[in-house]
């Protein structure tokens, strides 16, 4: 489904997240499942009361922006949604109506706020007049992703140090479409689910299990020990992605490298096979999310036979 992307209001500056005691803009309306039209304070919900170790990085996803992303957050129902902000001047359409109706049916508070305040709180380029505040995304366990299902060999994607949130979001959207069963992300030196990533994923973050690992090379060794082929994508490889053939129908984990740098040395060494995407034009490589689309759907094509 295509997303409408209205231009961001010019001159709007990003601001830090308001505290739970922040005052509402004058005239803001606050809605809940118990009735609408009440005026009150508008405050961004705080982070969930989840015990964290010092310096621990989580998947994120507490702030979700964009109409498709927020609707999928509500439809999935896999994590608690605290509040939904909707811009007061937002034109009503099917997606916005769905968001409000689903939120109210789930007893999630829907609050109308001035667009200027909403966009000041946004952390993506075009929040489309909608922001949701939720509990963080649950992390999958790598052992669960490696568990084989009857009649369905594992299909995983590992991401080696992608740092652009838009690329990660687009990659996750491809993974959802191609039937990837899980994504493996490094806990450090890589981007996780920011508002920009969640918006680019258009709701895929709610449906694709993601496991965070301390070290990707060690995780790939575990994946190989589980009898799953580890296939890395690299521009310098002599073998083509389109030669993967029968491996695609077996348990497979595609490994995608970081923007520019590609696969790190230790990750390359853990791969059973390195393949490249044939480039017929003047450019030498594709964006990592475009490479993810080609590679995941090539595997899906073989599996559909």
Instruction: Return the pLDDT at 150.
Output: 86
Distance CA 305, CA 300 (A): 9
Right CATH number for 142-303 from 3.90.1560.10, 3.40.50.300, 3.40.1280.10, 3.40.640.10? 3.40.1280.10
Instruction: Return the pLDDT at 55.
Output: 52
Instruction: Return the pLDDT at 1.
Output: 41
165-178 and 288-303 are packed helices; what angle lies between their axes, rounded to 10 degrees?
A: 10
How far, CA to CA in Å, does 86 sit from each of 12, 30, 118, 144, 250?
17, 10, 8, 37, 46
Give CATH for domain 29-47+54-134: 3.30.1330.30
Average pLDDT, the chain: 84
Query: Which residues does 53 contact at the CB level (< 8 Å), separation at least 6?
Result: none
Confidence of residue 246 (pLDDT cuts 50, 70, 90): confident
Structure tokens that stand for 222 in this block: 């575990």
Instruction: Return the pLDDT at 151.
Output: 84
- Nearest Cα neighbor of 46 from 65, 70, 20, 24 is 20
The pLDDT > 90 percentage for the chain reads 66
Distance CA 133, CA 64 (A): 6
Please give the average per-residue pLDDT across 237-264, as a whole number.
Answer: 89
Distance CA 162, CA 191 (A): 6
User: Is 3's pLDDT higher than 70?
Assistant: no
Please give the average per-residue pLDDT across 101-120, as a whole number.
Answer: 96
- Of 33-42, 72-81, 150-159, 294-303, the one with minimum mean pLDDT is 33-42
Residue 33 C-beta-side C-alpha neighbours within 13 Å: 10
Instruction: Return the pLDDT at 214.
Output: 93
CB distance 302 to 245 below 8 Å? yes
Instruction: Return the pLDDT at 69.
Output: 97
Instruction: Return the pLDDT at 161.
Output: 85
Q: Per-residue DSSP letters for 134-158? A: EPPPPPPPHHHHHSPBTTB--EEEE
Confidence of residue 97 (pLDDT cuts 50, 70, 90): very high
Q: Where are the domains of the chain?
A: 29-47+54-134, 142-303
Domains 29-47+54-134 and 142-303 share a fold: no
Instruction: Return the pLDDT at 21.
Output: 33
Q: Which residue is associated with the tokens 């498709």?
A: 68
- Nearest Cα neighbor of 14 from 129, 117, 89 is 117
Instruction: Return the pLDDT at 49.
Output: 36
* Position with higher pLDDT, 16 vs 287: 287
Which pairs count as long-range contacts for 93-97, CB under 8 Å and 24+ apart, including other chains? 93/4, 95/67, 95/68, 95/71, 96/67, 96/129, 96/130
User: Is 288's pLDDT higher than 50?
Assistant: yes
pLDDT digits (tens, 9 = 90+) for 117-131: 999 999 998 899 999
Instruction: Return the pLDDT at 56.
Output: 61
pLDDT digits (tens, 9 = 90+) for 13-57: 333 433 333 333 333 444 433 333 333 344 445 433 334 554 567
Confidence of residue 133 (pLDDT cuts 50, 70, 90): very high
């Amino acid at each position: 489904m295509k997303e409408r992307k209205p231009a961001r209001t010019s001159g709007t500056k990003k601001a830090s997240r308001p505290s739970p005691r922040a005052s509402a803009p004058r005239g803001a309306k606050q809605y809940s499942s118990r009735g609408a039209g009440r005026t009150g304070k508008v405050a961004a919900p705080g982070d969930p009361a989840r015990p964290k170790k010092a310096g621990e990085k989580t998947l994120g996803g507490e702030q979700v922006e964009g109409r498709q992303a927020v609707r999928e957050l509500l439809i999935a129902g896999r994590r608690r949604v605290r509040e939904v902000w909707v811009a007061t001047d937002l034109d009503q359409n099917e997606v916005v109506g769905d968001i409000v109706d689903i939120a109210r049916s789930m007893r999630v508070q829907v609050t109308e706020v001035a667009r200027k305040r909403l966009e000041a709180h946004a952390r993506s380029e075009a929040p489309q007049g909608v922001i949701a505040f939720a509990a963080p995304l649950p992390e999958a366990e790598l052992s669960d992703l490696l568990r084989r299902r009857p009649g369905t060999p594992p299909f995983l994607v590992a991401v080696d140090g992608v740092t652009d949130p838009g690329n990660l979001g687009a990659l996750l959207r491809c993974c959802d479409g191609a039937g990837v069963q899980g994504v493996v992300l490094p806990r450090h030196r890589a981007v996780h689910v920011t508002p920009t990533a969640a918006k680019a994923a258009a709701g895929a973050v709610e449906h694709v299990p993601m496991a965070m690992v301390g070290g990707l090379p060690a995780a790939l060794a575990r994946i190989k020990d589980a009898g799953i082929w580890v296939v890395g994508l690299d521009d310098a490889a002599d073998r083509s992605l389109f030669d993967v053939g029968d491996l695609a129908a077996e348990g497979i984990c595609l490994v995608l490298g970081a923007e520019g740098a590609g696969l790190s040395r230790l990750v390359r060494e853990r791969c059973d096979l390195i393949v490249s995407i044939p480039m017929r034009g003047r450019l030498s490589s594709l964006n990592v999310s475009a490479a993810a689309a080609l590679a995941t759907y090539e595997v899906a094509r073989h599996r559909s036979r």
